[in-house]
Amino acid sequence: MNIDLYQVDAFASKPFEGNPAAVCPLETWLDDGLLQAIATENNLSETAFFVPTESGYQLRWFTPAVEVDLCGHATLAAAWVIFNMLGDSAELLQFETRSGQLLVQRDGDELAMNFPAKVVEPFTMEAEVKAALGINEIEELLISDDIVVVVNDAQLIESLTPDMQQLKRLPGRGIVVTAKGSDVDVVSRWFGPNVGVEEDPVTGSAHTSLAPYWAKRLGKQQLTARQGGARKGALSCEIEGDRVIIKGRVAPYLKGVITLPPQ
């Protein structure tokens, strides 16, 4: 049994930028254990699997360790594969996911994802967060799906070397550290050892929390953002009511075939 595999770099203008994702088109769903085994073998922060339906596609995402409820960069990657490798001529793709219906449409040389906005609330484990991140000052500490750590120095984000074992003791999916940028509106890094991803270069889903927060704080509905440490990627966000439009480019890297034993 063979399955096509595409590896592309999401939120990237060329290969070796942004966040790599594996994308596997399927005709029907495979066993969950096999999906997880493929994602573990791929060893990327996310592998996306999709199956066509009458109205669009069912879409699921797996890290090397677990299935997750929402992933931005692998949704962007899957949409790019559907548009550019599978030849879907639609202007708008509909994905049914564990987070409800997600929409992706063409926008020039970018793709625009329509995601639900997340509300952040105050979070109180400041001492534990500081110890895990190895920092002394936090401007604001919040939580949604992720712990959101706001700092007042973008350069501090560049130098972060978190203690992954201490991060694993914190609640939530992951932890995102963010600051106001200079050449862009927002900068951030995201760490998720609890879901098997020590650092995700560009996390679209984290911006469902970051974008509403920074839009309110900066007084603007459209934001430019950059995420990552040694490897970075770029995206833009726009607030539309209770939704966040997240835009980015995708750069292809490789196409291959996964060979599986008979099922």
Q: Is 54 a catalytic residue?
A: no
Give me the phi and psi of 35, to 5 degrees please.
-60, -45
Grouping H, G, I as helix, E, B as strand and the rest as coil, residue 50 is strand
pLDDT at position 261 is: 83
Q: Quick one: CA torsion of 127, 133, 137, 139, rounded to 10 degrees?
A: -90
Q: Is the pLDDT of residue 36 over 80?
A: yes
What is the C-alpha to C-alpha distance for residues 259 and 36, in angstroms, rounded to an integer? 15
Rounded average pLDDT over 202-221: 97
Rounded average pLDDT over 229-253: 97
User: Who wins on pLDDT, 255 or 262?
Assistant: 255
pLDDT at position 108 is: 93
Rounded average pLDDT over 186-194: 97
Q: Is the pLDDT of residue 263 over 80?
A: no
Stretch (H or E) spanning 57: strand 57-62
Grouping H, G, I as helix, E, B as strand and the rest as coil, residue 236 is strand
- What does the radius of gyration of the chain's CA atoms come to, in whole angstroms? 18
Share of residues in the chain with pLDDT > 90 (%): 98
pLDDT at position 91 is: 92
Question: Which residue among 27, 41, 46, 140 is the active-site one?
Answer: 46
Rounded average pLDDT over 5-14: 98
Domains of the chain: 2-112+247-259 (3.10.310.10), 121-240 (3.10.310.10)
pLDDT band at 262 (very low <50, low <70, confident <90, very high): confident
pTM of the predicted model over 0.75: yes
Rounded average pLDDT over 167-189: 97
Rounded average pLDDT over 143-165: 96
Q: Is the pLDDT of residue 5 over 80?
A: yes
